[in-house]
Structure 1
Amino acid sequence: MQSEKYGRTYHYPFSPGTTSDDRINYDYWSDLQQIKTVVHTEKLDGENNCLSKRGVFARSHAAPTTSPWTATLREFWQRVKNDLGGLEIFLENLYAVHSIRYQQLDHHFYVFAVREQDRWLSWEEVQFYAAMLDLPAVPQIEMEHTPGDRKLFEQKIMNIVTTAGAFEPVDTATGKRCTLEGIVSRNAAGFHRDEFAHNVFKWVRKGHVKTNEHWTRNWKRAGLKHEGGHYVDVNYQ
């Protein structure tokens, strides 16, 4: 393994989109009480990719990925690899359409985390390094201080996930507009790699995944709001 993959994000206990191999943080409220500032971001429906000086990785970090939907990202990596140093840039790759088709995408790659050796960097640093690489960060929904009322907090999360999010999502199975896939909450400050499960939480809607084992044979490129723009791959300029 050339690097350590992104940790498994634990679900909130009230997240309906859990599967048999998912993990749930039943003690999430105690963890939140230790966090000074929490930032909520939109969970996007793509592939978890990582850029490091060693290459472009998908969910497994055993070897660099060679998938066709990372071709543009690998071209981008060639331009920035010597500037990454010890940074690992984790991003949502939306180049290929999964269970959600976004109608208002500005870009195919959205940064959601940065790791430097044993430390997950703060949200402010994530946004800084994303901007340095000329990449967008995932949409920020809200930032709040330590929540004080559990019932109100959970109700707020439930209200957020009834919205469509930032990019006008459409369910690929039905063709109808849908709500966002979910929400990721994290400690706005940095934290040690071993403390990941106590600092990052998620809510995912029920029955979200609509793709099957044949997805990779029939995948389609996601359209962008402004085709032919600065970020579009060479075949579509």
Structure 2
Amino acid sequence: MEIVSEKYPRTYHFPFSEGAVNDDRIQEEWQELLAQEIVVTEKLDGENTCIKANGVYARSHGAVNRNPWAKPIWEIWERVGSSLQDLHLFGENLYAIHSIEYARLDSHFYLFAVRDNGLWLSWDEVEWYAQLLDLPTVPVLERGSCTATQLQTIIANQQAQGSRLGGESEGVVCRNAAAFPETEFSQHVLKYVRKNHVQTDEHWIRNWKRAPLWFERPDFQTTGGELGTD
């Protein structure tokens, strides 16, 4: 029996997150996260999605997600859903273009967390399940120990260089590399979001467009298989 809230918890911002607004939660004790090994990943601009044994869900778990842009996630569920049992797979659904159109997508779903009842699994376990289930993870920018200054430099460099998937960077997520309980989520996962990022998802829903994978893009087709890095 599950003992935790179904949906993905609200992620607190770093105090220096430029995209934080008045109703966002800020973690003032953020440097405590740096006392252990951390993993810094890219925050992708998509729909927070959960795959679990009984279906596919968006951020709210009140009902399964039957929107047309969830179609490829249901295809993943048909392949792996029966084996999940109590596991919840959380990832970014990039099938529909939100604010950022990525030029180098090789998948429409990128795994970023796995929960087993009240425990968020370690990053090593997330990568293990990703390999087992043939799913990519969100891009990893850095892993290890770092100071507050080093972390802010990593974030600044990521924002300046842009997304590993091509295009602007939405931000980064920093998490404890080890496993941790649901009740301590706000202490172990924090985010930085770019300035002036879109605050609502409603803008893309009315006339949503499918995001092409890298090999489907016109610039790939016209260059004989060479996709530019700009």
TM-score range, shorter chain: 0.7 to 0.9
| Secondary structure class of the residue paired with 1:70 | helix
For the structure 1 residues 3 and 23, does the alpha-carbon distance in structure 2 shift closer, same or farther, using more than 3 Å as the test?
closer
AA partner of residue 151 (structure 2)? F
Q: Deviations over 1:4-23 (max 9, x none)?
A: 11111111000010123211
- Partner of residue 163, structure 2: 165
Q: CA deviation at 1:3?
A: 5.7
Q: CA deviation at 1:180?
A: 0.7
In the alignment, the residues of structure 2 paired with residue 89 and residue 218 of structure 1 have an alpha-carbon distance, to the nearest angstrom, of: 28
- Partner of residue 226, structure 2: none
The percent of aligned pairs where both chains have the same amino acid is 50
| Secondary structure class of the residue paired with 1:226 | helix
For the structure 1 residues 83 and 211, does the alpha-carbon distance in structure 2 shift closer, same or farther, using more than 3 Å as the test?
same
Structure 1 stretch 39-48 or stretch 24-33: which is displaced more? Answer: 24-33
| Secondary structure class of the residue paired with 2:153 | helix
Q: CA deviation at 1:210?
A: 7.7
On the 8 A contact 1:99/1:211 being kept in 2, the answer is no
Question: 2:187 aligned to 198, 201, 207, which one?
Answer: 198
In the alignment, the residues of structure 2 paired with residue 73 and residue 79 of structure 1 have an alpha-carbon distance, to the nearest angstrom, of: 10
AA partner of residue 23 (structure 1)? R
Q: Deviations over 1:98-132 (max 9, x none)?
A: 00000111111000000001100000111111111
AA partner of residue 206 (structure 1)? K
Q: CA deviation at 1:71?
A: 1.3
> Is 1:44 the counterpart of 2:44 in the alignment?
yes
Unaligned runs of 5+ in 2: 218-230
Q: Deviations over 1:202-237 (max 9, x none)?
A: 110011118663521200000001249xxxxxxxxx
On the 8 A contact 1:88/1:116 being kept in 2, the answer is yes
- Partner of residue 62, structure 1: 62
- Partner of residue 17, structure 1: 19
Question: 2:212 aligned to 212, 217, 223, which one?
Answer: 223
| Secondary structure class of the residue paired with 2:192 | strand
On the 8 A contact 2:98/2:201 being kept in 1, the answer is no
AA partner of residue 29 (structure 1)? Q
| Secondary structure class of the residue paired with 2:88 | strand
Q: CA RMSD in A?
A: 2.0
AA partner of residue 19 (structure 2)? G
On the 8 A contact 2:109/2:136 being kept in 1, the answer is yes
| Secondary structure class of the residue paired with 1:56 | strand
Unaligned runs of 5+ in 1: 170-178, 229-237
For the structure 1 residues 211 and 22, does the alpha-carbon distance in structure 2 shift closer, same or farther, using more than 3 Å as the test?
closer
> Is 1:4 the counterpart of 2:16 in the alignment?
no
In the alignment, the residues of structure 1 paired with residue 95 and residue 43 of structure 2 have an alpha-carbon distance, to the nearest angstrom, of: 15
| Secondary structure class of the residue paired with 2:101 | strand
> Is 1:103 the counterpart of 2:103 in the alignment?
yes
AA partner of residue 139 (structure 2)? P
| Secondary structure class of the residue paired with 1:185 | strand
On the 8 A contact 1:99/1:210 being kept in 2, the answer is no
Between the two proteins, the alignment pairs up a number of residues equal to 215
For the structure 1 residues 119 and 49, does the alpha-carbon distance in structure 2 shift closer, same or farther, using more than 3 Å as the test?
same
| Secondary structure class of the residue paired with 1:49 | strand
In the alignment, the residues of structure 2 paired with residue 189 and residue 200 of structure 1 have an alpha-carbon distance, to the nearest angstrom, of: 11
AA partner of residue 54 (structure 1)? N
For the structure 1 residues 141 and 153, does the alpha-carbon distance in structure 2 shift closer, same or farther, using more than 3 Å as the test?
closer
| Secondary structure class of the residue paired with 2:114 | strand
> Is 1:119 the counterpart of 2:128 in the alignment?
no
- Partner of residue 29, structure 1: 31
On the 8 A contact 2:91/2:110 being kept in 1, the answer is yes
